[in-house]
């Protein structure tokens, strides 16, 4: 089963009739038809890159926090055994300031509405996981790149295509990138092996 915001986004090459259009994600979304007979949910949708972020607090809350938790509760009620939430490395803040690489044991220090909304959703999912039989996994990828990538990666690509000289050699700033294919592969492995010790 695949759920998307439009028929075009929902359809995939070789798609099937198991596709449901969900126009909005929020605390009142009806997930009944999308969750019927579903064993696992992979939740990637989120509100990102709002032009005037400071004026979008309620939008981020409705979609990224309340919408995520409503979907997870609906999935648990429908009998799903696994819920995979794709969060963001930004729940750790924007820098590790020379410390060891981020780990799942770190205390979260999110910055910006997006990072804070994802951290709040993670907190809600931890509570849900304790109170239900559904196994919850959280994945915190860095910037994901691939065909049609948007956001900061699209800006970087545009600068490269313009032939602008990029002063990366003089900048002491390391950033991690993850391909969409590698992220997909990791999600598939987690679906096959919900226990992180496997």
d(CA 84, CA 82): 7
Specify the length of the chain in residues. Answer: 198
Q: Which residue bears the tokens 């900048």?
A: 171
Catalytic pick among 114, 117, 122, 136: 114
φ, ψ of residue 23 to 5 degrees: the values are: -70, -40
The secondary structure of 107-175 as a DSSP string is: PP---HHHHHHHHHHHHHHHHHHHHSS-EEEEE---EEE-TT--HHHHHHHHHHHHT----GGG-----
Q: Is 114 a catalytic residue?
A: yes
Which residues have a catalytic role annotated?
Answer: 114
């Amino acid at each position: 089963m695949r759920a998307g915001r439009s028929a075009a986004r929902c359809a995939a090459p070789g798609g099937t009739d198991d596709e449901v259009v969900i126009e909005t994600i929020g605390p009142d979304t009806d997930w009944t038809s999308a969750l019927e007979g579903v064993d696992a949910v992979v939740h990637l949708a989120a509100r990102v890159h709002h032009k005037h972020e400071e004026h979008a607090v309620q939008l981020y809350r409705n979609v990224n926090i309340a919408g995520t938790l409503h979907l997870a509760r609906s999935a648990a009620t429908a009998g799903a055994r696994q819920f995979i939430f794709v969060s963001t490395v930004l729940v750790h803040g924007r820098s590790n300031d020379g410390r060891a690489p981020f780990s799942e044991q770190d205390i979260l220090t999110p910055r910006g509405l997006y990072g804070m909304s994802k951290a709040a959703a993670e907190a809600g999912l931890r509570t849900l996981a304790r109170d239900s039989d559904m196994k919850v996994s959280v994945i915190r990828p860095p910037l994901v790149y691939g065909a049609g990538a948007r956001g900061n990666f699209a800006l970087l690509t545009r600068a490269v295509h313009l032939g602008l000289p990029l002063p990366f050699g003089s900048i002491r700033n390391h950033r991690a990138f993850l391909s969409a294919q590698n992220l997909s592969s990791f999600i598939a492995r987690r679906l096959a092996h919900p226990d992180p010790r496997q």
